[in-house]
Amino acid sequence: MQTTTLSFENMHNHGELFANLFRARKQSFIVQKNWDLPEALDMEYDQYDTPASRWVAIHNLGEVYAGIRLTPTNARCGIYSYMIRDAQRGLLGTIPQDLLYEKAPVDEHTWECTRVFVSHATPERIRRRVHAYMVGAMTKAAREEGATRLIALTAANWPRWFGRCGLDASAMGREMYIGDGDYQCVSIDLSAKLH
């Protein structure tokens, strides 16, 4: 099993991995969760998949087991910045505007973590290992970009498993029902993981 952090600068070095990641996202979010998201060429994408973002892929022999997108909170693309902030600004109709207790951060050292998934095709016997790889690769990729904090809109049961994964997280918004379940915004402190 491998972890690869992809960017617009290095995607050409990894063959079909970038496209396979977006195909796996389509399977996870559009097919499995039935979310109404843009798709083309059998791939899911949105307005936050820009050169500012990084994508972490957990994979083996071309098969993507899991993925994560990381976007700096100071990113801009037209009217968009990053998903949590744009939801708070009322630009996304599917996520409530009151998802945060305070104003969404805009800070070069704070990155947003979105489109986190484990493929339904990932064998059950390796899922725990895939989760561990995800946390390690996410933390490493974010730290390499200078992040000291991640923010994420995640399943509301996060306290149950974030601690087991070694993540130092706290709630930054209320629990809310969105589409297929309960979600909550969290802040993940990476300052203790400086190396």
Per-residue pLDDT of the chain (195 residues; tens, 9 = 90+): 999 999 999 999 999 999 999 999 999 999 998 888 999 999 999 999 999 999 999 999 889 999 999 999 999 999 999 999 999 999 998 899 999 999 999 999 999 999 999 999 999 999 999 999 999 999 999 999 999 999 999 989 888 888 888 889 999 999 999 888 899 999 999 987 654
Place of tokens 């050169």: 51
- pLDDT tens-digit readout, 34-63: 888 999 999 999 999 999 999 999 999 889
Give 104's Cβ-side CA count (13 Å radius). Answer: 23
3-state secondary structure of 43: strand
For 153-157, the CB contacts below 8 A with 24+ separation are: 153/83, 153/84, 153/87, 153/95, 153/99, 153/114, 153/183, 153/184, 153/185, 154/116, 154/183, 154/184, 154/185, 154/186, 155/181, 155/182, 155/183, 155/184, 156/181, 156/182, 156/183, 156/184, 157/182
Domains of the chain: 2-148 (3.40.630.30)
User: Taking the mean position of all CA atoms in its chain, how far away is CA 36?
Assistant: 17
User: Taking the mean position of all CA atoms in its chain, how far away is CA 88?
Assistant: 18
Which amino acid, residue 89?
Answer: R
Calpha distance 16→25 (Å, rounded): 14
